[in-house]
Amino acid sequence: MRAVLGSRGLGDVYKSQASALAPAPAKQHTALLTGTTKGKIAAAAALDQLGVSFSWGGGSAKGPTLGIGRGARTRGFDCSGLTLYAWSRAGVRLSHYTGAQFRQGRRIALRARRMGDLLFFGGGTGDPTHVALFLHGGLMIHAPKTGDVVRKTNFLTSSYFRTAFRGAVRPG
């Protein structure tokens, strides 16, 4: 089957399978073709959050929240809040800290990535400082920084993300 891509990603063409598998159906990207996986459910949940504000410390398994510190007045997600929310829709519990998520799941080679896998960036030799969900090709979805919104980015063509890449993890 071929995905029809719209301006928001996978579009409204997918309607049935993942909603039966996910604990709570996503608003718009409820299924991602035949053979729905937990990773596809997580990706669909993240795609439904496109345009939601970044909020430092924001996000929970239930969705966007008020953050802490710099995010105390903004309802939204930080990077690990978005990934923990997305994977919670697939029934997988993640910590709300990028460094902990880096250790939750199975490390995979970049060439073996699948939809929903977590991509980690930055942090030198310490814990990574940023996490995103892989979509397809070089595309990821993430909550980038204060003042920004949940968005898609091509990490393979970004000089920053290419050089800051730390690894990929498959939760669950």
DSSP helix/strand/coil, 117: coil
CATH number of 17-170: 3.90.1720.10
Longest dimension (CA), the chain: 45
List, in order, residues 6 or more apart from 149 with CB less than 8 Å away: 50, 51, 52, 53, 54, 76, 143
Residue 134's φ and ψ, nearest 5 degrees, are -75, 140
Active site residue 130: yes
Q: Which of 29, 96, 136, 142 is catalytic?
A: 142
| Average model confidence (pLDDT) across the chain | 85
The position carrying tokens 């393979």 is 156
Burial call 28-65: b when 16+ CB within 10 Å, e when fewer: bbbbbbeebbbbbbbbbbbbbbbebbbbbbbbebebbb
Domain boundaries, the chain: 17-170
Which of residues 68 and 5 earns the better pLDDT score? 68
Q: What's the pLDDT score for residue 2?
A: 27
- pTM more than 0.85: no
Predicted confidence band at 28 (pLDDT cuts at 50, 70, 90)?
Answer: low
Cβ atoms 13, 31 nearer than 8 A: no
Q: How far apart are CA 21 and CA 129, in angstroms?
A: 31
Active site residue 136: no
